[in-house]
């Protein structure tokens, strides 16, 4: 098969604006988009920049937009695209550092903001703690998150409002709040009871659609909303009594 | 000049464990060539061993039993005191991980679940479905955020700077800036991972070039037992993505084209759960005898486990099979073949993770503390990273507190950085030259065909000659383009030099070791020979040439015996 890889190029130190460059690519084998990009880099233009690591959709390095779809390049077979033209763009709403490499720092900053670590009770127990698996089941969906940033990049709210924490960070917060081992106080996690937090989401569910790991971050945001409201009512009730 | 008390190189499990163990009073930073969460530790699937005794079939498990299995699995090349230390520390290490937030799978009653793994008499592999590496790496990263560990991401270390046998720091290539610069440190801990990409077929990530091991070797630190290269029995054909041993631990069968569970012929008692070296050779033998499919693979059949168990315990490998082979293990057997997976050998360090060079430590796959010997058991590598990563951090911190700086450090570091820079500029000036990815492909072919699962004198000798030829060609490699920002080409050029060194050391060790032990299988010396070869291989660079020596194995109470499974 013959393909044209229409790849976005941009070096902010040199170019005035991003542009597309076409690479012709021929292969008889079933290849992933990442393999094709590596072949193109090796054989046609060694300066083409993109990130990669595991090639098995678990490290989260190679999120990009392939023919308009948010995807991990490593798990996207080029024949599955059913098109001889393959348009490759970097993740939007993040600054391009070079070609397909974007600055992920704003994304990781949102993750850091929610204090993404367990607030444990006491010290390590000599025999560990006991938790039934069903108590953990609610968080399994969220621990599949690989922090690739696709959801953050695709989120219309995050793109227009930089205060917004975005889907991945909020879903991660829910992962901790629901963890039976996590002792963070209501006053700590209810900091997301704002427009920059859970109420910022305008429920278009773009994050659920683009997530390559089926995390469905919006489920977490909605669950956080419910939990917030419920906690408030509980607190009010307790106060009155 | 950037200056740290302790510099950890590598942001995978061993690196993060080391950084977390350093005294918080010290100035500690982690340098990683990728974002830490992109490290290959993330891809570990099946689990982490500890004698918790939670499985109903292993209530009376002990760490001594774990140590025995590890030592027997190592074909008695493990240092027994080291294996004992790791297995004893395994139990508190798991509970610490749990405390840090790792969402382990659970048994009824709420204890951490444990599954059977290869080479273990008792089910003792703790897991989080089949994404154990993912959850542990993310958890340790979370803990590093809590502790506000300083990270320098997308920095590739290119050189260790040494003066009078003392480590002064490193030279790095900053990918984002495209610049070379020195970093001063009173102690350096390497946790740089393995070198899977030296081979054509490997389960390892694209980034696993093993350059850390090569850098240590260039700096004069000996490498130990490098000829012991683990081939994982079950990698998915043709992408060679790992299919966890947990799939067999949960009850999966290996089947040849006659529909037979052929492991009966190779390990009639342990069957599919024999150690990896034995299962990998069995699979390759079946393929070579034309009992495979398309002369490339055999089947891993999970269908009898049923949909519920596969979805609950092995969701990750199901996802991988569907994504990368278009097959659902619920309905179809998986095509699998052996592929390079792990390096038992590495930077020679002692039980404290200290090398012979003052202020230089190593932990994880890049290191050889000698706990895996000639063959590592599944579930022991994650364990090694957390146990020895922690020890490396503690020991380095202890050392830094008692050490003093040397004179002219900065000048030395600057000179070293300038030297690296000059070399790169020379390559940039070349109009045309060799392309590094072509050389890399040639190297992979040599290693796969002549230094693979089955070895012999002739092939190993030829491989050494071809590696020497490659070294000549490497001198002519050029860099295209002036801009070095995010230049993966430059990363590959820098790392390829290390890969040549590693390939040479692996092959030399394999050529000299005229016996079969664990993963090192010599067709011309098919027996283990304890009389002459119960010893570690050490290869050090002296006057530009590899010099080989040997070191005795520490035996505590487990007398070397023949391995039966």
Q: What tokens were used for B345?
A: 């050998």
pLDDT in tens, B178-215: 999 999 999 999 999 999 999 999 999 999 999 999 99
Cα B500 to Cα B466: distance, rounded to the nearest angstrom? 11
pLDDT in tens, B412-439: 999 999 999 999 999 999 878 899 999 9
Q: What are phi and psi of B496, to 5 degrees?
A: -65, -35
Contact B154, B31 (CB under 8 A): no
> How close B284 gets to chain A, by Cα (Å)?
24
Cα B399 to Cα B403: distance, rounded to the nearest angstrom? 6
Element housing A2 (H / E): strand A2-9
Question: Which of B186, B248, B276, B513 is the catalytic position?
Answer: B276
Q: For residue A93, what are the CA distances in angstroms to B322, B372, B391, B503?
A: 31, 46, 42, 43
Q: Domain check: are A177 and A233 in the same one?
A: yes
B487 to chain A: which residues are within 8 Å by CB? 46-47, 49
Task: Say if the Cβ atoms of B99 and A101 lie within 8 Å.
Answer: no
Cα B303 to Cα B301: distance, rounded to the nearest angstrom? 6
Query: Nearest CA to B212 among B349, B401, B79?
Result: B349
Write the DSSP symbol of residue A198: G
Q: Domain check: are A46 and A109 in the same one?
A: no
Q: So what's the pLDDT on residue B173?
A: 98
| CA atoms within 13 A of residue B463's CA, in its CB half-sphere | 29
Q: How many domains does chain A have?
A: 2
Residue B110 has its nearest CB partner, among A131, A139, A144, at A131
Structure-token match 């394999």, residue found: B510
Q: What are phi and psi of A85, to 5 degrees?
A: -105, 125
Burial of A67 (0-12, 13-18, 19+ CB in 10 A): middle
* CA-derived radius of gyration, chain B: 22
Residue B145 has its nearest CB partner, among A56, A116, A123, at A116
Query: Nearest CA to B384 among B9, B14, B10?
Result: B14
Q: What is the 3-state secondary structure (H, E, C) of B379-400?
A: CHHHHHHHHHHHHHHHHHHHHH
Cα B199 to Cα B209: distance, rounded to the nearest angstrom? 10
Q: Domain check: are A11 and A69 in the same one?
A: yes
Q: What tokens were used for B16?
A: 């993060």
pLDDT tier for residue A240 given thresholds of 50, 70 and 90: low
Task: Detail the DSSP E strand segments found in B78-228.
Answer: 114-115, 125-126, 150-153, 155-163, 166-174, 179-190, 223-224
Q: Domain check: are A81 and A114 in the same one?
A: no
Q: What is the largest CA-CA distance in chain A?
A: 74
| CA atoms within 13 A of residue B25's CA, in its CB half-sphere | 5
B234-251: average pLDDT: 97
Q: What is the 3-state secondary structure (H, E, C) of B233-298?
A: EEEECCCCCECCCHHHHCCCEEECCCCCCHHHHCCCCCHHHCCHHHHHHHHHHHHHCCCCECCCEE
Q: So what's the pLDDT on residue B432?
A: 81
Q: So what's the pLDDT on residue B328?
A: 98
Cα A221 to Cα A195: distance, rounded to the nearest angstrom? 12
Q: What are phi and psi of B425, to 5 degrees?
A: -60, -40
pLDDT of A216 > 90? The answer is: yes
pLDDT tier for residue B531 given thresholds of 50, 70 and 90: very high
Burial of B40 (0-12, 13-18, 19+ CB in 10 A): buried
Q: What tokens were used for B138?
A: 């993310």
Cα B335 to Cα B333: distance, rounded to the nearest angstrom? 7
* CA-derived radius of gyration, chain A: 21
- Which residues, in sequence order, are bridge partners of residue A87? A6
Contact B365, B190 (CB under 8 A): no
Burial of B26 (0-12, 13-18, 19+ CB in 10 A): middle
> How close A120 gets to chain B, by Cα (Å)?
7
pLDDT of A241 > 60? The answer is: no
Counted residue by residue, chain B has a size of 565
Q: What domain range is A127 assigned to? A: 105-240
Cα A18 to Cα A24: distance, rounded to the nearest angstrom? 20
Q: Domain check: are A209 and A168 in the same one?
A: yes
CB atoms within 10 A of CB A202: 11
> How close B135 gets to chain A, by Cα (Å)?
7
Of A75, A102, A129, the position where a domain reaches its end is A102
Query: Nearest CA to B119 among B408, B494, B488, B519?
Result: B519
Q: Domain check: are A16 and A48 in the same one?
A: yes
Q: Give which of B51, B98, B209, B314 to mutate to test A binding, by max A Cβ within 10 Å.
A: B98
A42 to chain B: which residues are within 8 Å by CB? 435, 437
Q: Domain check: are A18 and A73 in the same one?
A: yes
Question: Which domains does chain B possess?
Answer: 234-338 (3.90.700.10), 418-546 (1.20.58.100)
B323 to chain A: which residues are within 8 Å by CB? 57, 75
CA angle B82, B85, B91 (to 5 degrees): 140
Structure-token match 């392939």, residue found: A66
Q: Domain check: are A228 and A133 in the same one?
A: yes
Task: Say if the Cβ atoms of A118 and B142 lie within 8 Å.
Answer: yes
Task: Say if the Cβ atoms of B39 and A47 lie within 8 Å.
Answer: no
A73 to chain B: which residues are within 8 Å by CB? none
Q: Domain check: are A25 and A70 in the same one?
A: yes
CB atoms within 10 A of CB A166: 30
pLDDT in tens, B298-329: 999 999 999 999 999 999 999 999 999 999 99
Percent of chain A with pLDDT over 90: 94
Tell me if residue B500 falls in helix, strand or coil: helix
Q: So what's the pLDDT on residue B407?
A: 77
Task: Say if the Cβ atoms of A14 and B483 lie within 8 Å.
Answer: yes
Q: What tokens were used for B326?
A: 């278009």
> How close A73 gets to chain B, by Cα (Å)?
12
B510-537: average pLDDT: 98
Q: Domain check: are A55 and A39 in the same one?
A: yes
Task: Say if the Cβ atoms of B40 and A54 lie within 8 Å.
Answer: yes
Percent of chain B with pLDDT over 90: 97
Q: Domain check: are A51 and A112 in the same one?
A: no
Residue B486 has its nearest CB partner, among A98, A118, A127, at A98
Task: Say if the Cβ atoms of A117 and B483 lie within 8 Å.
Answer: no
A52 to chain B: which residues are within 8 Å by CB? 206-207
Query: Nearest CA to A57 among A155, A144, A137?
Result: A144
Of A102, A122, A147, the position where a domain reaches its end is A102
Element housing B344 (H / E): none
Cα B365 to Cα B346: distance, rounded to the nearest angstrom? 7
Element housing A148 (H / E): none
Percent of chain B with pLDDT over 70: 100
Q: Domain check: are A113 and A139 in the same one?
A: yes
Q: What is the 3-state secondary structure (H, E, C) of B526-544?
A: CCCCHHHHCEEEEEEEECC
Tell me if residue B228 falls in helix, strand or coil: coil
Q: So what's the pLDDT on residue B57?
A: 95
Of A40, A70, A102, the position where a domain reaches its end is A102
A10 to chain B: which residues are within 8 Å by CB? none
* CATH number of residue A224's parent domain: 1.10.1060.10
pLDDT tier for residue A222 given thresholds of 50, 70 and 90: very high
pLDDT tier for residue B365 given thresholds of 50, 70 and 90: very high
Cα B187 to Cα B23: distance, rounded to the nearest angstrom? 13
Cα A144 to Cα A151: distance, rounded to the nearest angstrom? 14
The question of whether B276 is a catalytic residue gets the answer yes
pLDDT of B105 > 90? The answer is: yes
Strand B223-224: give its sheet, edge to edge: B367-368, B346-348, B223-224, B535-542, B545-552
pLDDT in tens, A36-83: 999 999 999 999 999 999 999 999 999 999 999 999 999 999 999 999
Contact B108, B94 (CB under 8 A): no
Average pLDDT over chain A reads 96
pLDDT tier for residue B406 given thresholds of 50, 70 and 90: confident
pLDDT in tens, A95-150: 999 999 999 999 999 999 999 999 999 999 888 999 999 999 889 999 999 999 99
Q: So what's the pLDDT on residue B405?
A: 73
Structure-token match 């041993």, residue found: B245
- Which residues, in sequence order, are bridge partners of residue A21? A7
Q: Give which of A43, A75, A122, A128 to mutate to test B binding, by max B Cβ within 10 Å.
A: A128
CB atoms within 10 A of CB B561: 9
pLDDT in tens, B110-151: 999 999 999 998 999 999 999 999 999 999 999 999 999 999
């Amino acid at each position: 098969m013959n393909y044209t890889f229409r790849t976005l190029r941009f070096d902010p130190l040199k170019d005035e604006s991003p542009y597309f460059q076409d690479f012709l690519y021929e292969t008889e084998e079933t290849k992933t988009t990442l393999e094709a990009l590596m072949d193109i880099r090796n054989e046609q233009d060694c300066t083409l920049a993109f990130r990669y690591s595991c090639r098995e959709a678990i490290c989260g390095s190679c999120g990009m937009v392939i023919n308009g779809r948010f995807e991990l390049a490593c798990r996207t077979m080029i024949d599955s695209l059913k098109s001889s033209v393959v348009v490759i763009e970097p993740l939007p709403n993040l600054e391009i550092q070079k070609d397909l490499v974007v600055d992920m720092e704003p994304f990781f900053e949102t993750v850091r903001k929610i204090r993404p670590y367990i607030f444990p009770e006491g010290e390590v127990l000599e025999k560990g703690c006991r938790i039934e698996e069903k108590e953990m089941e609610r968080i399994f969906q969220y621990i599949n998150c690989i922090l690739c940033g696709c959801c953050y990049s695709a989120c219309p709210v995050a793109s227009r409002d930089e205060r917004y924490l975005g889907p991945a960070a909020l879903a991660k917060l829910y992962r901790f709040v629901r963890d039976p081992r996590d002792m963070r106080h209501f006053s700590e996690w209810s900091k997301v009871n704002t427009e920059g937090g859970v109420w910022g989401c305008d429920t278009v569910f773009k994050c659920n659609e683009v997530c390559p790991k089926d995390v469905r971050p919006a489920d977490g945001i909605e669950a956080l909303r419910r939990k917030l409201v419920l906690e408030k009512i509980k607190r009010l009730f307790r106060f009155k009594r | 000049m950037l200056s740290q008390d302790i510099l950890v190189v590598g942001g995978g499990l061993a690196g993060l464990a080391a950084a977390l163990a350093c005294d918080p009073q010290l100035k500690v930073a982690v340098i990683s060539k990728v974002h830490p969460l992109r490290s290959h530790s993330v891809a570990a699937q099946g689990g982490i061993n500890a004698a918790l005794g939670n499985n109903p079939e292993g209530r009376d498990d002990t760490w001594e039993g774990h140590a025995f299995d590890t030592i027997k699995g190592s074909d008695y090349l493990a240092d027994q005191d080291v294996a004992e230390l790791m297995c004893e520390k395994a139990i508190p290490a798991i509970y610490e991980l749990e405390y840090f937030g790792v969402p382990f799978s659970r048994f009824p009653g709420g204890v951490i679940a444990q599954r059977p793994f290869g080479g273990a008499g008792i089910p003792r592999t703790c897991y989080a479905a089949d994404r154990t590496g993912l959850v542990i790496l993310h958890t340790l990263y979370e803990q590093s955020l809590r502790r506000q560990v300083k990270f320098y991401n997308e920095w590739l270390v290119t050189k260790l700077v040494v003066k009078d046998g003392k480590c002064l720091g490193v030279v790095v290539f900053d990918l984002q800036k495209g610049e070379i610069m020195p970093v001063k440190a009173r102690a350096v801990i390497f946790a740089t991972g393995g070198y899977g990409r030296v081979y054509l077929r490997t389960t390892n990530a694209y980034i696993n070039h093993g350059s850390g091991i090569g850098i240590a070797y260039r700096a004069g630190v000996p490498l130990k037992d490098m000829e012991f290269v683990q081939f994982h029995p079950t990698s998915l054909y043709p992408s060679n993505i790992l299919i966890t041993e947990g799939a067999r631990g949960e009850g999966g069968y290996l089947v040849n084209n006659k529909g037979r569970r052929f492991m009966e012929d190779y390990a009639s008692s342990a069957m599919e759960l024999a150690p990896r070296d034995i299962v990998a050779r069995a699979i390759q033998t079946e393929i070579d005898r034309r009992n495979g499919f398309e002369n490339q693979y055999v089947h891993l059949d999970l269908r009898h486990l049923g949909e519920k168990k596969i979805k609950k315990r092995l969701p990750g490998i199901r996802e991988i099979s569907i994504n990368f082979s278009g097959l659902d293990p619920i309905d179809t057997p998986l095509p699998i073949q052996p592929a390079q997976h792990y390096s038992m050998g590495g930077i020679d360090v002692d039980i404290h993770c200290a090398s012979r060079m003052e202020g230089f430590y190593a932990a994880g796959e890049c290191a050889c503390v000698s706990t895996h010997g000639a063959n590592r058991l599944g579930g022991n590598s994650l364990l090694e990273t957390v146990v020895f990563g922690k020890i490396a951090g503690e020991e380095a911190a202890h050392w830094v507190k008692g050490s003093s700086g040397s004179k002219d450090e900065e000048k030395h570091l600057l000179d070293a950085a300038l030297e690296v820079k000059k070399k790169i500029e020379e390559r940039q000036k070349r109009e045309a030259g060799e392309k590094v990815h072509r050389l890399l492909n040639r190297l992979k072919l040599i290693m796969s065909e002549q230094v693979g699962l089955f070895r012999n004198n002739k092939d190993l000798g030829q491989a050494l000659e071809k590696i020497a030829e490659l070294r000549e060609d490497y001198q002519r490699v050029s860099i295209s383009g002036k801009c070095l920002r995010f230049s993966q080409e430059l990363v590959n050029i820098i790392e390829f030099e290390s890969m040549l060194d590693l390939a040479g050391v692996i092959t030399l060790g394999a050529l000299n070791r005229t016996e079969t032990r664990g993963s090192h299988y010599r067709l011309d010396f098919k027996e283990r020979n304890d009389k002459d070869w119960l010893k570690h291989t050490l290869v050090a660079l002296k006057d530009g040439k590899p010099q080989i020596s040997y070191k005795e194995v520490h035996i505590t109470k487990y007398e070397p015996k023949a391995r039966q499974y």
